């Protein structure tokens, strides 16, 4: 008799996360368009969905090393804005009443996604190939955003069209302190140094190998 494969993740988690994505993806596509899914955090969500259903460590590990720390920065920026300050302004849209409340509510996934990803890596194991896989993915996304996506709101005809995606042109709009190509290199280098390396160390230290 063929041995029945034992699942590692609860069905309830799979159903709940899929339900969230069923609400998130069409809502964001409708308002912002398909280019919104070039953002690292949204790519992380898609990788998480794939990983949850396939129970493969690689997509989960990619999302975990790629978006966990940026999500922590998002949380810090959001929390500071609640008290009238800000970090880098990455959550300005959360306080813009022109954005529908449902859209802003769905964006609160930044609070729970890092915890979910850490739990998933501990549960499924850490695939260290995720380092190269995520960095390659991130660099491709950054180059696409630099070459073909709008630089600023002035470059778009629709009010909700994303621009300066993944900070390809600057932190708070287009930066002018250095040549564009120099900034692009800085942003690309920040991926392995600031985002990936700390989480890679964390998972190598505290999670079992996949």
DSSP states of 171-208: SSSS--SS-HHHHHHHHHHHIIIIIIHHHHHHHHHHS-
Q: For residue 98, what pLDDT is reported?
A: 93
Rounded CA separation 85/205 (Å): 35
8-state DSSP, 39: S
* N residues, the chain: 210
Q: How far is CA 174 from the centre of its chain?
A: 21
Please tell me the predicted confidence (pLDDT) of residue 3.
47
Where do the structural domains in the chain lie, given as residue ranges? 11-206
Q: What is the pTM of this model?
A: 0.95
pLDDT at 173: 86
Identify the three-state secondary structure at position 105. helix
Q: Enumerate residue ranges in the chain where pLDDT < 50.
A: 1-3
């Amino acid at each position: 008799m063929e041995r029945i494969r034992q699942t590692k993740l609860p069905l309830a988690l799979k159903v709940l996360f899929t339900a969230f994505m069923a609400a998130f993806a069409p809502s964001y596509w409708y308002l912002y368009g398909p280019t919104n899914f070039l953002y690292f955090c949204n790519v992380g969500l898609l990788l998480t969905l794939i990983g949850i259903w396939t129970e493969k460590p690689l997509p989960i590990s990619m999302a975990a090393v790629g978006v966990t720390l940026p999500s922590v920065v998002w949380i810090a920026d959001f929390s500071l804005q609640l008290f009238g300050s800000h970090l880098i302004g990455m959550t300005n849209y959360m306080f813009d009443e022109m954005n529908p409340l449902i859209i802003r509510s769905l964006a609160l996934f930044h609070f729970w996604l890092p915890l979910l990803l850490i739990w998933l890596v501990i549960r499924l194991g850490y695939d260290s190939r995720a380092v190269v896989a995520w960095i390659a993915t991130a660099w491709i996304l950054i180059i696409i955003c630099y070459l073909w996506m709008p630089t600023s709101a002035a470059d778009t005809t629709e009010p909700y069209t994303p621009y300066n995606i993944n900070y390809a042109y600057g932190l708070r709009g287009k930066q002018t302190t250095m040549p564009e190509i120099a900034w692009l290199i800085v942003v690309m280098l920040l991926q392995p140094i600031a985002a990936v390396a700390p989480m890679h160390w964390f998972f190598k230290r505290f999670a079992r190998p996949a």
